[in-house]
Amino acid sequence: MNPDWLTPELISILIAIGKAVVILLAVVLFAAYLSFIERRLLALWQDRHGPNRVGPFGIFQLIADMIKMFFKEDWTPPFADKLTFLLAPVIAMSALLIAFAIVPVTPTWVVADLDIGILFFFALAGLAVYAVMFAGWSSNNKYSLLGGLRSAAQTVSYEVFMGISLMGVVAQAGSFNLGDIVEAQADLWFIVPQFFGFLTFALAGVAVAHRSPFDLPEAEQELAAGYHTEYSGLKWGMFFVGEYVGVVLISALLVTLFLGGWQGPLLPPVVWFVLKTLFFVMLFILLRGALPRPRYDQIMAVGWKVCLPLTLINLLVTGAVLLAGSGPVGS
């Protein structure tokens, strides 16, 4: 060890990078593994076996699937628009993965402690939409295009109320910073005073991750595989992992914003965070197994006529209560 170049700043930078890499790997690996967990859990709830052949309880199924995916022909259709066709899966996987940087896993363990925290997530969720739209357009395929159009229509209807649904939380915590928001929930989790905010954000979150029942862009009964019909091999795998990254991200955000994040008695913070996140991931999967898929005009109607007024009223009431109590509570 040479003390000349090994300054304390360098060590702290290296530790920060190490923490960020650990979070990145944990999220990506867990997201990939979710494909197996989802199939097993769905099978359990539907009274089937699911994939249980590869290794004990089928835990090596993912490796088999990955080998299959790597050896598939990575085909770019000649009629596709090359630039956007290649760009779409990259956006799909990276956008929501980058958004994970703002989630505080423990009091000291967060990749990017941004003052604009939640806005950063909104920005990346807004950009993630292009993955579906560009994939749908560039494939030059009717089904893909319909998937992309549905995605655009869906986005316009949920993004507005998603933004407003979290403003109650921001007003109560007095900050956009996710760390501050977790600290503000020391006495009472925000799911109690912000219950409608929680409901509407959970709805919008399912739509952000394109999960059933809001998986209209890839409704396989009507649209083949929707926007990723023309994708195969690793490019398709990036869409696939991107969807699960979305599930993990939305679960982690729901935990951070409404269930007190890493806070909890006895157990260390990281354990509480992981446990709560796993609970929401499980709910995501259960939702897929339990609910039918609505038509997309129904989704738009619910978004504009129910959720938007609900979030606006929620924000108004929150503001009024805060003004009456004068000053932000819990901070």
Partner 1 sequence: MELAFYSSAAVAILATLRVVTTGNPVHGLLYLIVSLLAVAMIFFALGAPFAGALEVIVYAGAILVLFVFVVMMLNLGPELARQERQWLRPAQWVGPGVLSAALLAVLLWFLFGAGTGALVGQGTVGPKQVGIALFGPYLLVVELASLLLLAALVAAYHLGRREDRR
Which stretches of the chain bind partner 1, using CB under 8 A? 81, 83-84, 87, 114-116, 119-120, 122-123, 125-127, 129-130, 133-134, 136-138, 145, 148-149, 152-153, 155-156, 159, 163, 176
Cβ proximity to partner 1, 74 vs 81, nearer residue? 81
Cβ proximity to partner 1, 87 vs 199, nearer residue? 87
Q: Are 268 and 105 in contact (CB under 8 A)?
A: no
Cβ proximity to partner 1, 115 vs 222, nearer residue? 115
In this structure, is the dihedral angle defined by the CA atoms of residues 106, 256, 118 and 136, taken in order, positive or negative?
positive
State the nearest-atom distance from the C-beta of 86 to partner 1, in Å. Answer: 12
From the CB of residue 190, how many other CB atoms can be counted at a distance below 10 Å? 24
State the nearest-atom distance from the C-beta of 204 to partner 1, in Å. Answer: 14
Cβ proximity to partner 1, 100 vs 120, nearer residue? 120
From the CB of residue 313, how many other CB atoms can be counted at a distance below 10 Å? 11
State the nearest-atom distance from the C-beta of 304 to partner 1, in Å. Answer: 12
State the nearest-atom distance from the C-beta of 301 to partner 1, in Å. Answer: 15
State the nearest-atom distance from the C-beta of 64 to partner 1, in Å. Answer: 37
Instruction: List Cα–Cα distances, 258 to 22, 159, 181, 268, in angstroms.
Output: 25, 19, 9, 19
Cβ proximity to partner 1, 74 vs 180, nearer residue? 180
* Tokens 């992992």 belong to residue: 241
